[in-house]
Structure 1
Amino acid sequence: MNKLTTNRRRFIGTAGTTGLFQIVPRHVLGGPNYTSPSEKLNIAGIGVGGMGHANMLACAKENIVALCDVDHKYAAKSFEAFPKAAVYKDYRVMFEKQKDIDAVLIATPDHTHAVISMAAMQSGKHVFCQKPLTHDIYESRMLAKAAKEAGVVTQMGIQGHSQEGLRLICEWIWDGAIGDVSEVDAWCSLMYSPPGHAFWSSILQDRPKQGQSVPSGLDWDRWIGPAAMREYHRCYHPGSWRCWWDFGCGMMGDRGAHTLDSVFTALKLGAPSSIEGSGIVGGNAEVHPDKAKVTYLFPARDGFPALKLNWYEGQEPPRPKELEEGRNLHEQGGVIFKGDKGIIMCGVYGNSPRLIPETAMRAYKRPAKTLPRIKGSHEGNWINAIKSGTKASADFSYSGPLTELALLGNIAKRFPNRKLDWDNENMKVTNFDDANAWVRRPYRAGWSL
Structure 2
Amino acid sequence: MSHRLHRRQFLRSTAAASAGFLILSRAERAGGRSPNQRVAIACIGVGGKGRSDTDHAGLCGEVVALCDIDDIRLKETASRYPNAKTFHDYRELLDTLGDRLDAVVVSTPDHTHAVASVAAMKLGKHVYCQKPLAHSPAEARAMMEAARAHGVATQMGNQGTASDGFRTGVELIRSGRLGPITEVHVWTNRPFKYWKQAPDIVSRPTETPPVPEHVHWDLFVGPAPMRPYHPVYHPHDWRGWWDFGTGSLGDMACHTANLPFMGLQLGYPTRVSAQSGPINPETYPAWATITYEFPARGDLPPVKMTWYEGAKDGQRNLPDPALFQGRAAVDSGSLLVGEDFVLYSPSDYGMEQVLWANGSSAALPEPPERTLERLGGEDERDLNNKREWVRAIEGGPAPLSNFDYAAVLTEAMLLGNVAVRLGRPIDYDAETMTVSGVPEAARLISPAFRSGWSL
Asked whether the 8 Å contact 1:37–1:384 carries over to 2, the reply is no
* Cα distance in 2, alignment partners of residues 141 and 435 from structure 1: 16
Please state whether the residue corresponding to 1:388 is helix, strand or coil: coil
Please state whether the residue corresponding to 1:59 is helix, strand or coil: helix
Structure 1 stretches of at least 4 aligned residues deviating more than 6 Å after TM superposition:
23-26, 28-37, 357-362
* Cα distance in 2, alignment partners of residues 92 and 57 from structure 1: 22
Alignment correspondent of 1:91? 90
> Map of 1:6-405 to 2, 5 A cutoff?
19=16, 22=19, 39-61=37-59, 62-98=61-97, 99-191=99-191, 196-200=192-196, 204-278=201-275, 280-314=276-310, 315-324=317-326, 327-331=327-331, 333-346=332-345, 347-356=347-356, 363-375=364-376, 377-405=384-412
Alignment correspondent of 1:423? 429
> In the TM superposition, what is the alpha-carbon distance from 1:323 to its structure 2 partner?
3.6
> In the TM superposition, what is the alpha-carbon distance from 1:414 to its structure 2 partner?
0.6
Asked whether the 8 Å contact 2:22–2:152 carries over to 1, the reply is no
C-alpha offsets along residues 131-187 of structure 1, whole Å, 9 cap, x if unaligned? 111111111111211111111111111111122233222221222221000110111
Distance 1:25 1:66, change over 3 A: closer
Determine if the alignment matches structure 1 residue 411 to structure 2 residue 409: no
> In the TM superposition, what is the alpha-carbon distance from 1:190 to its structure 2 partner?
2.3
Please state whether the residue corresponding to 2:183 is helix, strand or coil: strand
For structure 2, list consecutive stretches of 5 or more residues without a partner in the other structure. Answer: 1-13, 311-316
RMSD value, Cα: 2.7
Alignment correspondent of 2:8? none
The TM-score normalised by the length of structure 1 is: 0.87
* Cα distance in 2, alignment partners of residues 256 and 79 from structure 1: 32
> In the TM superposition, what is the alpha-carbon distance from 1:19 to its structure 2 partner?
4.5
Percent identity of the aligned residues?
A: 37
Distance 1:29 1:129, change over 3 A: closer
Counterpart AA for 2:374? R
> In the TM superposition, what is the alpha-carbon distance from 1:249 to its structure 2 partner?
0.7
> In the TM superposition, what is the alpha-carbon distance from 1:124 to its structure 2 partner?
1.4
Distance 1:244 1:48, change over 3 A: same
Please state whether the residue corresponding to 2:64 is helix, strand or coil: strand
* Cα distance in 2, alignment partners of residues 53 and 360 from structure 1: 50
Distance 1:217 1:30, change over 3 A: closer
The TM-score normalised by the length of structure 2 is: 0.86
Q: How many residues align?
A: 423
Asked whether the 8 Å contact 2:18–2:404 carries over to 1, the reply is no
Please state whether the residue corresponding to 1:173 is helix, strand or coil: helix
> In the TM superposition, what is the alpha-carbon distance from 1:361 to its structure 2 partner?
11
Counterpart AA for 1:429? V
* Cα distance in 1, alignment partners of residues 401 and 353 from structure 2: 20
Please state whether the residue corresponding to 1:146 is helix, strand or coil: helix
Distance 1:216 1:258, change over 3 A: same
> In the TM superposition, what is the alpha-carbon distance from 1:390 to its structure 2 partner?
2.7
* Cα distance in 1, alignment partners of residues 238 and 341 from structure 2: 40
